[in-house]
Amino acid sequence: MNTERLWTRSFFMVCAANFFLFVTYYYLLVTLPSAALTHFHAAGSIAGLFTTLFLGAAIVIRPFVSAWMMKFGKRALLIASLIIFFTASFLYGWFDSVIALLILRFFHGIGFGMATTVTGSIVADLVPDARKGEGMGYFIMSANLAMVAGPFLGITIFGEYGLTTMFWIGAVFSFGALLLGWLTRLPEEPAIEQKGKEKQAVFEKTAIPISVTGAFFAVAYSSILSFMAVFAAQRGLEEASGYFFAVYAAILLLTRPFTGRWFDQYGANAIIFPAIILFAIGMLALGLSSSTIVFFIAAACIGIGWGTLFPSFQTIAVQRCIPKRRPAATATFLSIFDLGIGFGSFLAGALAGIMDLGTLYIFCSVYIACGLALYWRAQRQTGQKQAA
């Protein structure tokens, strides 16, 4: 067993800040489109812009964050990004106009894109090389837990107390991220010498193959984020739908200590190939589910499968480059991954209009199984780029 210390104070604080960052993200992700429809009586296309503009801003800003970290330092950029994120969260409660909120949503996405890139880069530096899989897994698990807490809190508070109270409580969550980020102390960063006016590429080439692979699987996963509540209602599983992600998170908590260590001990392939198969089985079970038991079995398989794949892909992205290019690798991975989520949400919405959601999930299981070949090819390409 490797004895290099993982749970340092800095690592814990960054994970906690990431949790509150993603709680705010998921909290608003599930409530703002509903608020646009019910409170502002906006069209469905306008409601969809609340997510599109947010993710679009994050994708646009991420390629520049790597250079800014090299110029200003990771801690300075972490604080700046969390201030932007908190400011946007605080301002939601001051506006009662769809146009103003959409502009604010874009501004909010800038802070989110910066913060997620910086925190991922910080953790990649904090985690010992021999425990990268385990450490990145725990870090990303903080976002997975937020995926359960955020929607539950958002829907509950919005339904019980209304839009204004929901906005102010969301600001409290984002302030928690800012406070934890402010209290985080990082090791002193060595100065990076640059030859002349040489510019660093905003994208890390070695990370592109595995990033595209992650985006491929994200297309399938986005169909769950977008239509889980609708699917559960179609199958008469409304009462169980609220516990889907709770089961997902519980299984993730139970398996994370093992999957992360196995990644470090036996290599990526020993973890990722079985995880892809479990993800496909979970989507198939979800598409066929008509009872609570099968529904929860699907949640468990998807929790192990997708919950293992995402941190593993990000770990590969940052492992295969030189240390000073880790911020660029993180930005490359997250930008391409978000494109997969955005495209998958759009595609799932289009397909849901012409087929039953259960059929869509069965189709997704076949799609995921095809990803076995894509991952195998990406591993070969990544290895070749690293050697070059």
Write down the pLDDT at residue 319: 80
pTM of the predicted structure, to 2 decimals: 0.76
Residue 212 is assigned to a structural domain of this protein = yes
Write down the pLDDT at residue 45: 64
Helix (H, G, I), strand (E, B) or coil at 243: coil
| Cβ atoms of residues 74 and 100 within 8 Å | no
267 shares a domain with 182: no
19 shares a domain with 137: yes
Write down the pLDDT at residue 206: 84
Residue 196 is assigned to a structural domain of this protein = no
Write down the pLDDT at residue 201: 64
Last residue of a domain, one of 143, 163, 187: 187
CATH number of the domain where residue 22 is located: 1.20.1250.20
Write down the pLDDT at residue 261: 81
211 shares a domain with 183: no
358 shares a domain with 210: yes
What is residue 129's DSSP assignment? Answer: G
Write down the pLDDT at residue 222: 83
What is residue 197's DSSP assignment? Answer: T
Q: Give the domain range for residue 160.
A: 1-187
The pair of three-digit structure tokens given for residue 231, joined into one six-digit string? 């699917």
262 shares a domain with 326: yes
99 shares a domain with 143: yes
Count CB atoms within 10 A of the CB of residue 130. 14
Work out how many domains the chain is built from and give that number: 2
Last residue of a domain, one of 132, 153, 187: 187
| Inter-axis angle of helices 132-161 and 244-266, nearest 10 | 170
Residue 268 is assigned to a structural domain of this protein = yes
Residue 192 is assigned to a structural domain of this protein = no
Residue 217 is assigned to a structural domain of this protein = yes
Helix (H, G, I), strand (E, B) or coil at 235: coil
249 shares a domain with 174: no
Predicted confidence pLDDT, tens digits, the chain (388 residues): 455 777 889 889 999 999 999 999 988 887 887 788 777 777 766 776 787 788 889 888 988 888 888 888 889 999 999 999 999 999 998 988 889 999 999 999 999 999 998 998 888 888 887 887 788 888 888 887 887 788 788 878 888 888 899 999 999 999 999 999 999 888 766 545 454 445 566 678 888 889 999 999 999 988 887 677 778 878 888 778 778 878 888 888 888 778 878 888 888 889 999 999 999 999 999 999 989 999 999 999 998 999 889 888 988 888 877 777 777 888 888 888 888 887 887 788 778 778 888 999 999 999 999 999 999 887 776 554 544 4
**Rounded CA separation 253/141 (Å):** 8
330 shares a domain with 182: no
